[in-house]
Amino acid sequence: MAATGEEQQGAKAFYVTTPIYYVNDAPHLGHAYTTVAGDVLTRWHRQRGEKVWYLTGTDEHGQKVMRTAEANGVSPQEWCDRLVEEAWKPLWEHLEIANDDFIRTTQERHTARVREFVQDLYDKGEIYQGSYEGPYCVGCEEYKAPGDLLDGEGEWAGQKLCPVHKKPVDILKEENYFFRLSEYGPKLLEHYERHPEFIQPESARNEVVSFVRRGLEDLSISRSTFDWGVKVPWDDKHVIYVWIDALLNYATAVGYGSDQAKFEETFPADVHLVGKDILRFHAVIWPAMLMAQGLPLPGKVVAHGWLMVGGEKMSKSNLTGIKPQDLTGHFGVDAYRWYFLRGIQFGQDGSFSWEDFSVRYTSELANDYGNLASRVAAMVNKYFDGLLPEAKGAGEAEQAVRDGLAKAVAEADRRIGDELDFSGGILAVFDFVKQVNGYLTEQQPWKVAKDTSPEAQERLATILYTAAESLRACAVLLNPVMPRTSGLLWDSLGAEAALGPLAEQRVQDAARWGQLPAGSTVTKGAVLFPRLEEPKDA
Ligand code: MSP
């Protein structure tokens, strides 16, 4: 069995990050998608018995946030405080995100270290003064390559548009400080070559490699036309470019420059989760910044696709941003966490529909899984007064269930824990749920129960034990994805008394048969996935 967290004191933590989100608005499904994925991944690793650090937070500087605050008639800091406290943190709590820290880029623990980092690069000659003119998208907070822009039509005829936001770009001309990014191309390519796993999926890797092969330009790392940012230490007419400031959160939040022991135990990240639109920042600029400073590079940058609405990336700016709470109120938090990871291949774009969610909820969660749990609990109550009977002997059918479980555990552990193939891993568990349902349909315990002979009663005991023990494993395997309902199932199986808390069960040990002791008190418990109510506007 894997060592527990306490036994690993001093060992490097499995460190996972989400992007830090702009607080120009409240979170929508797209933001929650990444944060839930990271939560499932880190809960999975915690249940492997590993030491884990899961970081999320907010990106509060830059023009985008500043303009929103102005439009709302408050200072940028007031705006950020309000949004963080009233929208972002409450959502993560609502979605049961178990992050270990929440970094805000306006915190002193961050800004002080950002200044030191940039000063260091300046002292090393990695930063120089120059001027730049080019198209800038405030939505992306990024200078765009002219060749990537789209031609505007209609109200924007004659203007150039950002390909992501489909809005006109600003033409900026500024005296700036530049980071010698262009010098890092060969070293980056060498790193990608040596570590093929560094950028995932394959399509994302290919895109970055060909981008870097085309040659990198130096990067403007300061802005001087507004002041909502971290001041450049040697020239306070400039603020540090918001992306340089933001990327450094991954270091400052874990003790860079302030707590060396914590830093060494945590940094670098094993997995940076990002949307594909911000891949280059993480797979090109961030590693180059680290190389310039002689710091170790992250293990993997994993880019996921976009949640789409009407063929476009869901976003607040095109008014398609849907609030997670609009869905959790109807489907529940656990089903929400499950649905997007189950339904969309991580790395691909995916569209969401209320109908698709309803269909999957009803067939997979309510009918396949929820019903299995309630039928088994009901039969143990009816035929054995709620005490789990002992299995007397196992035949071929039972062996097939055990084999199915072993396969599901190995597959889910590999896919979710190592490959970030959440849909494949969840599917492996739900295939097993289907198998157990099939087993009950074939064994017909309700018929066996009618025969009062000792042999039939023994057979009945074996069937129900097999089903309950299978559910014990499902609760363990689905806990990272659906912590609330898995907890309800754990309670209903009376598992805690003998096996301890659910979160302490090791995923890789879930197939070891016979963990649930005979005599456990099985209660009917709450319905895991209640029948959906008709939507109000239906
Ligand atoms: N602040 C930067 C990130 C800095 S990280 C050092 C930023 N913030 S963001 O709020 O605009 O976006 C954060 C993440 O949300 C990105 O990974 C982006 O891909 C993701 N999503 C925003 N809309 C999305 C969808 N419609 N679908 C899936 N994810 C999307 O970029």
Per-residue pLDDT of the chain (538 residues; tens, 9 = 90+): 334 444 466 799 999 999 999 998 899 999 999 999 999 999 999 999 999 999 999 999 999 999 999 999 999 999 999 999 999 999 999 999 999 999 999 999 999 999 999 999 999 999 999 998 889 999 998 988 888 899 999 999 999 999 988 899 998 888 899 999 999 999 999 999 999 999 999 999 999 999 999 999 999 999 998 999 999 999 999 999 999 999 999 999 999 999 999 999 999 999 999 999 999 999 999 999 999 999 999 999 999 999 988 788 887 766 677 899 999 999 999 999 999 999 999 999 998 889 999 999 999 999 999 999 999 999 999 999 999 999 988 899 999 999 999 999 999 999 999 999 999 999 999 999 999 999 999 999 999 999 999 999 999 999 999 999 999 999 999 999 999 999 999 999 999 999 999 999 999 999 999 999 999 999 998 899 999 987 655 4
User: Ligand 1 mean position to 30 CA, how many Å?
Assistant: 7
Helix/strand/coil percentages in the chain, nearest 5: 50, 15, 35
Q: Which atom of ligand 1 is nearest to the CA of 307?
A: 27
The minimum-distance atom of ligand 1 relative to the CA of 277 is: 19
Catalytic residue check, 313: yes
Query: Catalytic residue at 304?
Result: no
Residues with CB under 6 A from ligand 1: 19-22, 30-31, 33-34, 59, 246-247, 249, 274-275, 277-278, 306-307, 313-315
Structural domains of the chain in order of their starting residue, each with its CATH number: 354-509 (1.10.730.10)
Ligand 1 centre to CA of 18 (Å) is: 9
Cis peptide bond N-terminal to 287, omega within 30 = no
Q: Which backbone phi and psi does 490 adopt, to 5 degrees?
A: -60, -45
Which is catalytic among the residues 110, 140, 276, 474? 140
Beta-strand relationship, 127-137 and 170-179: antiparallel
> Known catalytic residue: 316?
yes
Question: How far is ligand 1, taken at its centre, from the CA of residue 274, in Å?
Answer: 7
Question: Would residue 407 show up in a list of annotated catalytic residues for this protein?
Answer: no
The amino acid at 243: W
Residue pair 107/100 in contact (Cβ under 8 Å)? The answer is no
Dig out the tokens for 198 from the structure: 């560094």
Residue 45 annotated to the active site: no
Distance 103 CA to ligand 1 centre (A): 16
Q: pTM (2 decimals)?
A: 0.95
Which of 18, 24, 29, 59 to probe ligand 1 with, by most ligand atoms within 8 A of CB? 59
Active-site residue, from 64, 80, 110, 162: 162
Query: Pairing relation of β-strands 231-232 and 199-200?
Result: unpaired
Protein residue with its CA nearest to atom 12 in ligand 1? 21
Q: What is the rounded distance in angstroms from the CA atom of residue 527 to the CA atom of residue 489?
A: 9
